[in-house]
């Protein structure tokens, strides 16, 4: 009777492990999500004059909408990671370990235990999400943005549906997946699947529109998006499967999948083909999985370190380039454009590519060239070919400026290159790398990983 009466509280405690009461750690986790969301918003503001403002204006706007929009997506990511780490505690994998077998044999209702476990997890997830949501709004108040209440319920419900969907999906999968490793891979796949589903059904077009989100009815407008009815159908089907499957599995004693029933104290050993030595089967399996994981993680770590170092070198070379001494790669000069005078062909903070040219190159009207004048580098468009050089001008004059003020005559020997393309995303990445946070990410973290990777690996091995 003690177990029956305290089952819900037991599951509520296990919904956040390593904590006696669970409440303090849940609140800390919620506040952490809100704080990180707010910090990410501040970092993104340093990239305001980049491709991000065109591609994702919903996260760059000076409004409550942007901070909360970031939070609902970050909460989904953090909770997915939390589910992956503590999968063994949170879902129905304990049924396969026969934790419910004796309880069912003693007359406890599987349906009641299923409901208690599911309710405890959902309650914990909802509580963390709500506290983090409120904390994000509270932090945004200090920015003194206009507070518009109308889109808050829509954003809250949108994030809540995502969390509920992935929770129910993982509950269902835990009744079929036999190993924790495969279950964690499936958890990651489920999160990606939800993102793909939202994109395919047009849900992102709805929730990213600040005007549309001011009416909660737009979330349920099937003409705009079918994500909510699809999510409701998936959740209903998963709930039915959970009740039926969990009830059936809990009634039977699950034997280990690989081995027969052995006498007490007996173990299974396999002969190593290379050495002829006998090794315990379970230890061989663990060693094999450990080697695969270590190899993959080491290769990934080396790749990340090398990529970060190469990128840092590239940024340094671009930053130290001077007129007449431009850095180039196979004849291509990378140039970070710092104005909007050539918009829309080249936008501010784009990484433009210019092909080196010489006196033999034939230029045409309309070509964009990189040239030097009085030790200053300019980028303008050729509007007229002349015997003495080229007449050039910019494409976009700022407001209140005099058209033709940048009209120049450039001698051919001053031209350094001709425009051949641009990368807006690399330009944004370089802009981020030149911020304080960017320097920490691209310089400090690779240095720590490079010099302390062995210590990090040892800590992970001891923890494992």
> pLDDT class for 265, splitting at 50, 70, 90?
low
Sequence-distant (6+) residues with CB within 8 A of 49 are 348, 349, 431
Q: Are 409 and 391 in contact (CB under 8 A)?
A: yes
Domain boundary, last residue among 216, 233, 250 = 250
Same-domain status, 212 and 357: no
Residue labelled with tokens 């036999």: 178
Query: Do 464 and 325 belong to one domain?
Result: yes
Tell me the C-alpha distance between 42 and 436, whole Å: 12
CA separation for the pair 296, 200 (Å, rounded): 32
CA 174 to mean position of chain CA atoms = 24
In b/e form, how buried is each residue of 27-37, taking b as 16+ CB within 10 angstroms?
eebbbebbebb
Q: Tell whether the model's pLDDT for residue 425 goes beyond 90.
A: yes
Provide the domain count of the chain. Answer: 2
pLDDT one-digit tens code per residue, 426-437: 999 999 988 888
Q: How many CA atoms lie within 13 A of 417 on its CB side?
A: 24
Shared domain for 461 and 387, answered yes or no, is: yes
330 and 464 co-located in one domain = yes
Neighbours of 439 (CB within 10 A): 14
Asked if 327 and 442 sit in the same domain, the reply is yes
Average pLDDT over residues 254-282: 56
User: Which pLDDT value is given to residue 88?
Assistant: 76
Q: Are residues 182 and 328 in the same domain?
A: no
Q: How confident is the model at residue 19 (pLDDT cuts 50, 70, 90)?
A: very low
Determine, yes or no, domain membership for 208.
yes
Quick check: is 284 in a domain?
no
Shared domain check, 312 and 211: no
**How confident is residue 231, by pLDDT bands cut at 50, 70 and 90?**
very high
Q: Identify whether 268 is part of a domain.
A: no
Residue 256: DSSP 8-state: P
Q: Both 146 and 45 in a single domain?
A: yes
Contacts for 312 with CB less than 8 Å, ≥ 6 apart? 433, 442, 443, 446
Does one domain contain both 148 and 91?
Answer: yes
- Give the domain range for residue 434: 299-464
pLDDT for position 367: 95
91-122 pLDDT, tens digit each: 776 666 656 655 656 666 666 677 777 888 88
In a domain, 360, yes or no: yes
- Token pair of 92 as six digits: 């129905």
Q: Is residue 127 part of a domain?
A: yes
276 within a domain of the structure (yes/no): no
Q: How confident is the model at residue 235 (pLDDT cuts 50, 70, 90)?
A: very high
Mean pLDDT value across residues 365-385: 92
Same-domain check for residues 332 and 225: no
Instruction: Examine residue 374 and state whether it is found in any structural domain, yes or no.
Output: yes
Peptide linkage before 344 cis (omega within 30 of 0): yes
pLDDT tens digits, 185-220: 889 999 999 999 999 999 999 999 999 999 999 999
Residue at which a domain ends, from 235, 250, 265: 250
Exposed / middle / buried, residue 121 (Cβ in 10 Å: 0-12, 13-18, 19+): buried
For helices 23-45 and 64-85, give the axis angle rounded to 10 degrees: 130
273 assigned to some structural domain: no
Same domain, 127 and 200: yes
Question: Quick one: pLDDT at residue 269?
Answer: 61
H helix intervals, 56-151: 64-85, 87-90, 93-96, 101-105, 110-141
Distance CA 268, CA 85 (A): 30
Same domain? 347 vs 447 = yes
User: In whole numbers, what is the pLDDT of the chain averaged over residues?
Assistant: 82
Q: Does residue 10 surpass a pLDDT of 70?
A: no
Single out the residue in 233, 250, 267 at which a domain terminates.
250
Q: Give CA–CA dist 70/68, Å, rounded.
A: 5
């Amino acid at each position: 009777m003690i177990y029956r009466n305290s089952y819900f509280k037991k599951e509520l405690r296990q919904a956040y492990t390593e904590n006696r009461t669970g409440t303090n750690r849940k609140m800390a986790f919620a506040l952490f999500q809100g704080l990180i969301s707010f910090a990410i918003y501040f970092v993104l503001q340093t990239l305001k004059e980049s491709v991000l403002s065109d591609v994702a204006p919903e996260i760059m706007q000076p409004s409550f909408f942007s901070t909360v929009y970031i939070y609902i997506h970050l909460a989904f990511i953090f909770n997915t990671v939390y589910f992956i780490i503590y999968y063994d505690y949170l879902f129905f994998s304990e049924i396969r370990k026969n934790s419910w077998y004796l309880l069912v044999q003693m007359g406890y209702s599987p349906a009641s235990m299923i409901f208690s476990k599911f309710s405890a997890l959902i309650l914990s997830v909802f509580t963390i999400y709500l506290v983090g949501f409120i904390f994000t709004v509270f932090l945004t108040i200090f920015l003194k943005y206009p507070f518009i209440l109308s889109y808050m319920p829509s954003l809250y419900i949108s994030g809540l549906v995502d969390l509920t969907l992935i929770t129910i999906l993982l509950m269902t999968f835990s009744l079929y997946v036999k190993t924790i490793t495969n279950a964690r891979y499936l958890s990651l796949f489920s999160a990606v699947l939800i993102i793909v589903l939202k994109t395919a059904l047009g849900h992102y077009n709805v929730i990213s529109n600040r005007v549309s989100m001011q009416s909660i009815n737009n979330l349920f407008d099937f003409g705009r998006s079918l994500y909510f009815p699809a999510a409701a159908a998936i959740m209903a089907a998963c709930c039915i499967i959970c009740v039926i499957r969990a009830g059936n599995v809990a009634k039977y004693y699950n034997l280990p999948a690989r081995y027969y029933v052995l006498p007490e104290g007996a173990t299974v050993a396999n002969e190593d083909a290379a050495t002829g030595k006998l090794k315990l089967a379970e230890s061989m399996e663990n060693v094999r999985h450990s080697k695969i994981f270590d190899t993959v993680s080491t290769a990934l770590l080396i790749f990340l370190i090398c990529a970060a170092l190469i990128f840092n070198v590239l940024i340094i070379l671009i930053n130290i380039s001077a007129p007449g001494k431009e850095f180039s790669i196979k004849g291509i000069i990378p140039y970070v454009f710092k104005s909007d005078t050539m918009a829309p062909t080249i936008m501010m903070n784009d990484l433009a590519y210019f092909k080196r040219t010489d006196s033999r190159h034939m230029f045409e009207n309309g070509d964009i060239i990189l040239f030097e004048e009085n030790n200053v580098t300019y980028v303008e468009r050729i509007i007229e070919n002349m015997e003495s050089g080229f007449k050039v001008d910019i494409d976009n004059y700022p407001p209140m400026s005099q058209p033709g003020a940048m009209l120049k005559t450039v001698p051919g020997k001053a031209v350094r290159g001709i425009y051949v393309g641009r990368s807006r995303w690399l330009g944004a990445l370089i802009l981020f790398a030149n911020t304080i946070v960017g320097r920490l990410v691209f310089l400090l973290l690779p240095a720590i990983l490079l010099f302390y990777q062995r210590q990090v690996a040892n800590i992970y091995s001891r923890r494992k």
